[in-house]
Amino acid sequence: MTRTALITGASRGIGAAIACRLAADGWDLTLSARSPDPLRTLADELRAEHGVRVHTAAGDMAEETDVRGVAEQHLAAYDRLDALVLSAGMGQAGAIADFPLHRLDKQYAVNLRAPFQLIQECLPALRATTALPVDHGGVHTGARIVAIASITGVTAEPSLAAYAATKAAVLSLCESVNVEESAAGVSACAVAPGYVDTDMTAWMHDRLAPEDMITAEDVAEIVSTVVRLSRTAVVPSVVLTRPGPRLWRA
């Protein structure tokens, strides 16, 4: 039976790179993002190139009913969920002193509340997957949750306090999933990269050239590796930092 993954934020950037990599690995997918047209375009490309099943489920991660609907659409389309990839996110820069609270609320909703809710919605299916027969080269991979966090959730970066706080919470959330669920085969990994060359980091190009940023494919490679591990290997987090004299650098 082909493994399946639900990927949020899948229409572009890191989420799209993860979708491409997992499709190349032979996974059936549900792709989610706010705008349906880019999702359909990517889905068509992945079906044609890799021969996998790809379902699309548009939804706004800031809306509770949309989040629930995305989970329900995946479970209606497939009979299992092997990996929940939480890639949807948003970030806005600004100093703590005058950062608008409504922008903090939006980042909290998208970056933390939606992942928390999706984990709740998908846990029964993830748990059920761990009870299925082993059919992946004799390795029981269990079920995985992979959340795209940020190195700013590990070490502070000026003007990114709101974003960093939500990403630090994602790192903590993955650790909590592991202590509650990993013994039964459902584990979580937070991938925390520095600046990745995507549309979301275009505002940094006057200070950091795109070629000096981490690639979205680098992040996708980490995700592909984590979901192939046996259920006895739990990876709470992976930090990707850029080269240079300061180890923890966004």
Question: What value does the mean pLDDT of the chain take?
Answer: 95
The whole-model pTM stands at 0.95
Residues written for the chain: 250
Q: How confident is the model at residue 199 (pLDDT cuts 50, 70, 90)?
A: confident
Domain that holds residue 142: 4-240
Q: Is residue 248 part of a domain?
A: no
> What is the tens place of the pLDDT at every residue in 150-163?
999 999 999 999 99
Q: What is the pLDDT of residue 135?
A: 61
CATH of residue 205 = 3.40.50.720
Q: What is the pLDDT of residue 195?
A: 92
Q: Is residue 101 part of a domain?
A: yes
Instruction: Please tell me the total count of domains within the chain.
Output: 1
**Region 120-128 average pLDDT:** 97
Q: What angle do CA 121, 31, 216 make, to 5 degrees?
A: 110
> How far is the C-alpha of 196 from the C-alpha of 205, rounded, in Å?
11
> What is the tens place of the pLDDT at every residue in 215-244?
999 999 999 999 999 999 999 999 999 998
Percentage of the chain modeled with pLDDT above 90: 85
* Chain-centre distance for alpha carbon 144: 11
Q: Are 226 and 144 in contact (CB under 8 A)?
A: yes
Q: Which residues pair with 69 in a beta bridge?
A: none
Q: Is the pLDDT reported for residue 138 higher than 80?
A: no
Q: What is the pLDDT of residue 134?
A: 65
Stated as kind and residue range, the H or E segment containing 66 is helix 64-77
Q: Is residue 250 part of a domain?
A: no
**Region 96-101 average pLDDT:** 97
Q: Is residue 245 part of a domain?
A: no
**Region 123-141 average pLDDT:** 84
Q: Is residue 22 part of a domain?
A: yes
The string of DSSP codes covering 234-246 is: ---EEEE--SSS-
Which of 207, 240, 95 minimizes the C-alpha distance to 158?
A: 95
